[in-house]
């Protein structure tokens, strides 16, 4: 059946930043679709505990900005489940401020988390995929990698997400002939911890909503649906793409 193409039975996935928000929604849906999932994050939450009670997932702690962590995450996945078919590079942070006043410490934190970490994790994860002759990598980017957002000022964040999009395309070109697909998901404004401050700000909330033609924020589960498509056989001929899921934000 055509719907079977959306199943992940027999697949093993590693999801970074999987303890909340989009990452947790992706991990949850992947388990529902039949995958075994290793959830990576800095803090284990009650939601992770409940999901892991199913027996189809496990947890590994780690700060993705630590250069030693990528090897540890992949090794833990291989030890627990025996293979690695799917990587979802989801961990990320956001910070804003005037460009001319943006300090090096904040710049380093954003770059290390949003670009350097996914680069390192994918670099390690792709090795067992190459040995197996197949694999799927999904990098979580953002509409911020395509436009200048308003009213917030966030040059560094936008630049790292643009880098993720370009990394995705070049990786896809390099590994397509070796059985590995690489795509990115570019969410718009999603109900999550990352957007909580802006949603609570009356002016920001209004601008974000007015600039989204659908007139609302996305739910994490809607991003998970997109991730499932990009990581399943339903998208078997899709690689090097940046799937925008933004309620129409980029249409104007």
pLDDT by 10s per residue, the chain, length 252? 578 999 999 999 999 999 999 999 999 999 999 999 999 999 999 999 999 998 899 999 999 999 999 999 999 999 999 999 999 999 999 999 999 999 999 999 999 999 999 999 999 999 999 999 999 999 999 999 999 999 999 999 999 999 999 999 999 999 999 999 999 999 999 998 888 888 988 999 999 999 999 999 999 999 999 999 999 999 999 999 999 999 999 998
Domain carrying residue 224? 2-243
Instruction: Indicate which CATH number applies to the domain containing 219.
Output: 3.40.50.720
Number of Cα atoms under 13 Å in the Cβ half of residue 54? 20
- Taking residue 99's Cβ as centre, other Cβ atoms within 10 Å add up to 10
Q: CA–CA separation, 211 vs 15, rounded Å? A: 30
Domain assignment present for residue 251? The answer is: no
- Classify residue 223: in a domain, yes or no: yes
Residue 230 within a domain: yes
Domain count, the chain: 1
Q: Catalytic: which of 157, 175, 189, 249? A: 157
Which pLDDT value is given to residue 1?
A: 57
- Separation between Cα atoms, residue 159 and residue 171, nearest integer Å: 18
pLDDT value of position 90: 98
Rounded to whole angstroms, how far apart are CA atoms 178 and 172? Answer: 10
pLDDT of 133 reads 98
* Residue 250 maps to a domain: no
Which own/partner pairs from 57-66 qualify as long-range (CB within 8 Å, at least 24 positions apart)?
57/27, 57/31, 64/16, 64/17, 64/40, 64/91, 64/113, 64/117, 64/118, 64/120, 64/121, 65/109, 65/112, 65/113, 65/116, 65/117
Q: Tell me if residue 157 is catalytic.
A: yes
Burial label, 148 (beta-carbon count in 10 A; 0-12, 13-18, 19+): exposed
Q: Quick check: is 94 in a domain?
A: yes
Q: Which two tokens stand for residue 26?
A: 């992706």
Q: For residue 249, is it within any domain? A: no
């Amino acid at each position: 059946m055509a719907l079977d193409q959306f199943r992940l039975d027999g697949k093993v996935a590693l999801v970074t930043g999987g303890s909340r928000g989009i990452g947790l929604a992706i991990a949850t849906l992947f388990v529902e679709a039949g995958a075994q999932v290793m959830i990576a994050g800095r803090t284990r939450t009650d939601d992770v505990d409940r999901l892991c009670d199913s027996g189809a997932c496990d947890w590994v702690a780690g700060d993705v900005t630590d250069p030693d962590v990528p090897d540890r995450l992949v090794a833990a996945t291989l030890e627990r489940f025996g293979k690695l078919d799917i990587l979802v590079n989801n961990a990320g942070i956001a910070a804003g401020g005037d460009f001319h006043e943006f300090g090096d410490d904040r710049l380093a934190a954003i770059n290390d988390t949003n670009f350097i970490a996914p680069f390192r994790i994918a670099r390690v994860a792709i090795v067992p995929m190459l040995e197996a002759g197949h694999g799927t990598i999904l990098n979580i980017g953002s509409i911020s990698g395509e436009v200048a957002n308003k009213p917030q000022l966030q040059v560094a964040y936008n630049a790292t997400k643009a880098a993720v999009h370009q990394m995705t395309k070049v990786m896809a070109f390099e590994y397509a002939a070796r059985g590995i697909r690489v795509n990115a998901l570019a969410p718009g404004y999603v109900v999550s911890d990352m957007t909580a401050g802006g949603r609570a700000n009356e002016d920001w909330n209004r601008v974000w909503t007015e600039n989204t033609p659908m007139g609302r924020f996305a739910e994490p589960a809607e991003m998970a649906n997109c991730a499932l498509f990009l990581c399943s056989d339903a998208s078997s001929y899709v690689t090097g793409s940046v799937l925008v899921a933004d309620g129409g934000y980029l249409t104007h």
